[in-house]
A = this chain, B = another copy of it.
């Protein structure tokens, strides 16, 4: 009797919160502004950027899309970042990942004004997350997972949480959020080198899967009544579909769902939250920059 956690619905309610906050900021003379920088022609990146800009428009945020050719040099990109850092109409800056291979993405992140780093990847925001300083920006995907847990009424305090994956984009920040004061989960971070991953997962009240391996988490990995948050978005071949593929998560949904008290589907679970938390972060930046 699992309940499906409806990421679209939770995201919509976060966006409604944002809409109200935008009005409040505007009434104080602040129009929150987000700049999205896109280097090159990656089609998926174009889709993501388009939907971010559209969401800004829908909520009443100012947005600026900056499209640069794939031949843009590191120095040219850094010059754009510096300009946006200095632009008072821009409160949040996002450089869409992945950039072309000749770009040093880490150096670009470091060049961002940390007060405008709404992706939360600048070292200053990484540190603030570890130090539980709420003025920092939390990366959108793990922040979205925390909102999904809260919206589903999941109690994290004292719960055993297992995070599969130790990336700085999802795994580590997710672990830090779950163990922080107020969340108070007992957190295990498991990864590709962990022994007996099924046994580790079986002890979890909450599983967050963020490894990028299609349908890795099977039914016998999951304790009855566990909550499962599936961050993975993987393409697998499926000749029966028009596109020839379909999207699946890191969790074998059909067999796992019946055992869970709650589970996020893919798509429609974590995915829609990311953009909603990006908006949240941009409003936080606008409030903090004033």
Interface residues of A in 81-105 (CB under 8 A from B): none
Tier of interface size on chain A: 20 to 34
Whole-angstrom distance between the alpha carbons of A230 and B277 in the complex? 40
Whole-angstrom distance between the alpha carbons of A1 and B145 in the complex? 46
Contact indicator B188/A186 (Cβ below 8 Å): yes
Does A191 sit within 8 A of B, measured CB to CB?
yes
Stretch at the interface among A43-51, A59-67, A119-127: A119-127
Does A130 sit within 8 A of B, measured CB to CB?
yes
Does A241 sit within 8 A of B, measured CB to CB?
no
Contact indicator B184/A187 (Cβ below 8 Å): no
Contact indicator B193/A175 (Cβ below 8 Å): no
Copies of this chain assembled into the complex: 2
Contact indicator B186/A187 (Cβ below 8 Å): no
Does A289 sit within 8 A of B, measured CB to CB?
no
Does A200 sit within 8 A of B, measured CB to CB?
yes
Interface residues of A in 169-187 (CB under 8 A from B): 172, 175-176, 179, 184, 186-187
Residue of B nearest to A125 (CB): B127
Contact indicator A195/B186 (Cβ below 8 Å): yes
- Which of A130, A172, A184, A188 has most chain B Cβ within 10 Å? A188
Contact indicator B195/A190 (Cβ below 8 Å): no
User: Top 8 A-B pairs ranked by shortest CB distance?
Assistant: A123-B127, A184-B193, A126-B127, A188-B188, A186-B194, A158-B195, A127-B127, A186-B190
